[in-house]
Amino acid sequence: MKKTIVLGASPNADRYSYRAVIALLSKGYEVVPIGIKTGTIEKTPIINGTPDIEKVHTITLYLNPSNQKLYYTYILKLQPQRVIFNPGTYNPELIDLLEKNKIEVIQDCTLIMLSMGTF
């Protein structure tokens, strides 16, 4: 299955990033939750920082634009095939950077994509 990073993962069960990790895992995806806060999502640990991860297919963003800038270089280094901008994460500066590096940009909701079978 496609390796997916949930960037902005939260240990708070009320957050959409938490729900996305659970939904991705339930569909069989290999998920790497990366967040600022430590904790777990069910039994999956949230990783802090910018770990080296190979063969990333998708990064799904749950960070507001002001917090994304810290990750620009990291995202480009990982060379994902695509980046999903979930509601509230739209960032024209990052979108332009991704497109210049030939990384597909998707503005959608990961949870809806999973439920519709379009992920």
Assigned CATH for 3-116: 3.40.50.720
Is-contact 30 18, C-beta < 8 A?
Answer: no
To the nearest whole number, what is the mean pLDDT of the chain?
A: 97
Q: What are the boundaries of each domain within the chain?
A: 3-116
Q: How far apart are CA 57 and CA 38, in angstroms?
A: 24
- With 0.85 as the threshold, say if the pTM is over it: yes
Residue pLDDT, tens place only, 67-77: 999 999 999 99
Residue pLDDT, tens place only, 18-53: 999 999 999 999 999 999 999 999 999 999 999 999
Residue pLDDT, tens place only, 68-110: 999 999 999 999 999 999 999 999 999 999 999 999 999 999 9
